[in-house]
Copies of this chain bind each other. A is one copy, B any other.
């Protein structure tokens, strides 16, 4: 390439420290920014929400490997910062050479945003007290794959902008609306207003997922609980039906993200 590049080479520089600091929640909230790491998340961010991509940090090796991302970033006039491998390592060890600094204002929150995405929705997913970032990201990804209209993360869940959530979502958080910041009671009220049937996933339920075909064909909201404790009694009381995935073997339960996959695909299948 003929152009001459300035390459950031000092892992100790204040700029690098500021970017790496966005791994901390306090720093994300103070600066109104968060990170999307790795080719999959960065590619989807540039493709779907380029206006939210504030800066792109990349190594020359990553730029060579991911020419498509480099081109779309240039076309979208995203500010590129070329960095040495040592600087990239100081920012993230899990980014495969590509980190985007994203605008936190792009994350949808609040009752108005929720009411809007629920209009005409036929399948949405509500996480309550989901704590593991890998589970939360995987649920967003499977909700996207199953064609859900929105994912709602009630207050008390792991933060959506935690880097591990973003990574596990594999870019899906830029494919469908993910709403944060609301208490579960307010979410339930909005689901009722939008006339969605609320189905709670609970391994101890008597009603089998495979016995409610008719209900799955109606507009539904899936309510998913905490990894260890599941849904509380008061959470279960919000539901129109409490549903279990049948266990045919000796497993005590399913991982919440696995359970989400089975429930959402059973719904998608009934609705399509």
A residues adjacent to B (C-beta < 8 A)? 40, 134, 138, 141-148, 170-172, 175-176, 210, 245-255, 257-258, 261-262, 265-266, 268-269, 272
Contact = CB atoms under 8 A, between A and B. Distances in A.
A145 B257 contact: no
A252 B248 CA distance: 30
Nearest to A271: B248
Contacts of A265: 245, 262, 266
A258 B138 contact: yes
A249 B175 contact: yes
Contacts of A147: 247-249
Q: How many copies of the shown chain assemble into the complex? A: 2
B134 A170 contact: no
Contacts of A143: 249
Contact of A251 (B144, B245, B249): B144
A45 to B, nearest CB: 13
B148 A249 contact: yes
Contact of A254 (B134, B142, B252, B268): B142
- Pick the 10 closest A-B CB pairs, nearest first: A147-B248, A175-B250, A145-B251, A144-B251, A144-B249, A258-B261, A147-B249, A261-B261, A262-B265, A145-B247
A69 to B, nearest CB: 14
Given A138-B255, A170-B253, 13 more contacts: A141-B254, A142-B255, A142-B258, A147-B248, A170-B251, A172-B250, A172-B251, A176-B250, A248-B268, A258-B258, A261-B261, A262-B265, A265-B266
B141 A258 contact: yes
A172 B251 CA distance: 6
A176 B249 contact: yes
A145 B262 CA distance: 12
25 contacts: A134-B134, A138-B255, A138-B258, A141-B255, A142-B255, A142-B258, A143-B249, A144-B251, A145-B245, A145-B247, A145-B253, A145-B254, A146-B248, A170-B252, A171-B251, A171-B252, A172-B250, A175-B250, A175-B251, A176-B249, A210-B269, A245-B265, A257-B258, A258-B258, A262-B262
Contacts of A249: 143-148, 172, 175-176
